[in-house]
A and B are shown apart, each in its own frame.
Chain A
Amino acid sequence: MNTPTQRYTTTAIALHWLMAIGIVIAFGMGLTMTDMPGITPAKLRLYNWHKWVGVTLFAFAVLRALWRLTHTAPTLPASIPRWQRQIAELTHYALYVLIFSIPLSGYFYSLAAGFPVVYLGVLPLPVLIEKNAELKPLLHALHFWLNMGLAALVLAHVGAALKHHWIDRDDVLKRMLPWSS
């Protein structure tokens, strides 16, 4: 008989997958838009939409962090070796750091470039720093490299989840799936 494993809450599951989809979309937009030559309306539209997705993801990240701090996440099964549990904890912690630092670095990069962010074209967001020619390339690089770090961690995260599901055949991935199984 299987002991019922703990599951993530519906809220945690929803935020996880909404953010996963949002991150993939924003990442794709980021790669595409920086590759577009010249200055065209299509490029400007993509830049603005990318920023709006980023702001939305930041809001979700805040909700997510608050939820996680107030709702205990399920612990990994005892069958998993301690070193794997430590890596998992470290990876998740790093992912939390990134879902905050990446939108923030992008936001400040936009401000340093002299472009305030107006969410959905209607809500002006606070101009926390003025246009700054020195900070602009630094923030650009920061945003880019943090994203490369995110890509690497997401690959590790997805790989580990699939390892648990297909190789270990445990319930680790199932705990985060929207459908109960």
Chain B
Amino acid sequence: MRKWIVGLGVLLLGIKALAAPIDVAKSSIIIVFSQMGVPIEAQFKRFSGDVQFDAAAPANTRAALTVDVASFDLGDPEYNKEVQKPEWFNAEKFTNATFTSNAVRVLSADKLEADGQLTIKGRTQKIVVPISVKQNGKQQIFSGELAIKRLAFAIGEGEWSATDMVEDNVRIRFTVVTAAQ
């Protein structure tokens, strides 16, 4: 039993020691969706998280992100206020959206594929995230783009669930920068 505890402790310490915090100023989470055919771009301005990445063992990559839903910016104060409402993000009840990665597959020298769980508005979906890895001096840059279905997270309920009004497919374009590990 003691071996388990020691082993687990070493493992947890090991992860803690290797994970690098996200440099929010250099990172971005951009959301692209279509409103009656018109492409709209927005971004989450406040988020935090850690990425554990070892270039020697990329399959051990782990990531965890927490996004402040109230920081969603459509570029217009009236629209920003609208998306915080219960039909959309319901930010008062669900202040954060989170992502945690589980398994990571190495596709090539600079391409990974991560299985993870995305939780928005209290609903969790399994997602697959394509990640391009690049080292830029003292920085590690993880970027990629994936599509999610907003209705799976009940984003846009009631009259807003009409997909001809706001498309179900929403693209998430992320650039996550950490210090090189």
Contacts and interface: CB of A to CB of B under 8 A. Distances in A.
A131 B162 contact: no
Interface string A115-126: 111101110100
Contacts of A118: 36-38
Nearest to A51: B38
Interface residues of A, number: 18
B160 A41 contact: yes
Interface residues of B, number: 16
Given A38-B82, A39-B82, A117 B38 contact: yes
A85 interface: no
Q: Is the interface of B mostly helix, strand, loop or mixed?
A: mixed
Given A114-B75, A131-B75, A44 B82 contact: no
A87 B176 CA distance: 65
26 contacts: A39-B78, A39-B79, A39-B82, A40-B159, A41-B159, A41-B160, A41-B162, A44-B35, A45-B36, A45-B165, A113-B76, A114-B40, A114-B75, A115-B38, A115-B40, A116-B38, A117-B38, A118-B36, A118-B37, A120-B37, A121-B36, A121-B37, A121-B164, A122-B37, A124-B37, A131-B75
Interface of A: 38-41, 44-45, 48, 113-118, 120-122, 124, 131
